[in-house]
Amino acid sequence: MEKVTILVVDDEQDIVDLIKFNLKRTGYEVLEAYDGEEALVVAKNNHVDLILLDWMLPKKDGIDVCRELKRDNFTKNIPVIMVSAKNEEFDVVLALEIGADDYISKPFSVRELLARVKVVLKRYKDMPVSEEEGLISVNGLVIDKNRHAASFDGKNLGLTKTEFDLLLSLATHKTKAYTREQLLHKVWGADFYGDNRVVDVHIRRLRSKIEEVTSIEFVRTVRGVGYKFAEF
């Protein structure tokens, strides 16, 4: 079985060495980059399963790197965990909004880092879908469970895996309102113990992509509860 490859991006050699040692001891392959431009080159020229990305980097900071990764068709589906000393709420939300899958504050526990890596990789592991499950089609919105893609009137929405999984979870049970905790459990997994604000951030991004192609409100807020799929 091919080993999982993780790209570690940080301008501090000691931190890279610490993370690399523990990842390799756990069985992962590790690539390294020490500035933002090098990170993009390595990510685009190698098979990478996950990126641990520092925020404060020379040449191009981690936010710009993450933004560029998520815009590139070759790298947009690589999960990114930001690892940063910037830990104000604004910083965390900004990182999640531009596409990071998780956020770990420095200084960090190696055990927590490895646990977060495991959870994010588990979410991105390919899950085979049987043909008979087919499509969900509602008012021009088509959710293709086999291709893990969604479109409206034939226009692909360009959803990330997380956005697609959220949309599918809501659309599969149209009459059910989900709390943030329930959506965390369904989409991020039972092992995830990060902040439930991550749900709100990804819902906003999902809505934004839908709003680019239609004014129909497919994902609705249920006050005091959470979110649900629109009933038509």
Assess whether 103 and 193 both reside in one domain: no
Residue ending a domain, among 124, 155, 170, is 124
Other CB atoms within 10 Å distance of the CB of residue 229: 23
Assess whether 109 and 135 both reside in one domain: no
Residue ending a domain, among 104, 124, 144, is 124
User: In this predicted structure, what is the pLDDT of residue 50?
Assistant: 94
In which domain, by residue range, is 115 found? 5-124
CA–CA gap between residue 212 and residue 210 (Å, rounded) = 5
Assess whether 221 and 114 both reside in one domain: no
Instruction: List the CATH number of the domain containing 41.
Output: 3.40.50.2300
Instruction: List the CATH number of the domain containing 207.
Output: 1.10.10.10
DSSP-derived 3-state class of residue 45 = helix
Assess whether 89 and 161 both reside in one domain: no
Q: Residue-wise pLDDT tens for the chain (232 aa)?
A: 468 999 999 999 999 999 999 999 999 999 999 999 999 999 999 989 999 999 999 999 999 999 999 888 788 889 999 998 877 778 788 888 888 888 898 888 999 999 989 888 887 764 444 333 567 888 889 898 878 889 998 888 988 888 999 999 898 877 788 898 888 888 887 676 666 788 898 999 999 999 999 999 999 998 888 999 987 6
Alpha helices, DSSP H, located in the chain? 13-26, 36-45, 62-71, 89-97, 110-124, 161-172, 180-183, 197-211
Assess whether 139 and 120 both reside in one domain: no
Assess whether 136 and 96 both reside in one domain: no
Assess whether 169 and 102 both reside in one domain: no
User: In this predicted structure, what is the pLDDT of residue 194?
Assistant: 66
Assess whether 17 and 107 both reside in one domain: yes
CA–CA gap between residue 52 and residue 69 (Å, rounded) = 13
User: In this predicted structure, what is the pLDDT of residue 117?
Assistant: 92
User: In this predicted structure, what is the pLDDT of residue 127?
Assistant: 45
User: In this predicted structure, what is the pLDDT of residue 126?
Assistant: 45
The model's pTM is 0.63
Assess whether 93 and 14 both reside in one domain: yes
CA–CA gap between residue 210 and residue 26 (Å, rounded) = 40
Assess whether 189 and 86 both reside in one domain: no
User: In this predicted structure, what is the pLDDT of residue 129?
Assistant: 40
Assess whether 91 and 169 both reside in one domain: no
User: In this predicted structure, what is the pLDDT of residue 98?
Assistant: 83
Residue ending a domain, among 124, 143, 163, is 124
Assess whether 104 and 18 both reside in one domain: yes
Q: How many domains does the chain have?
A: 2
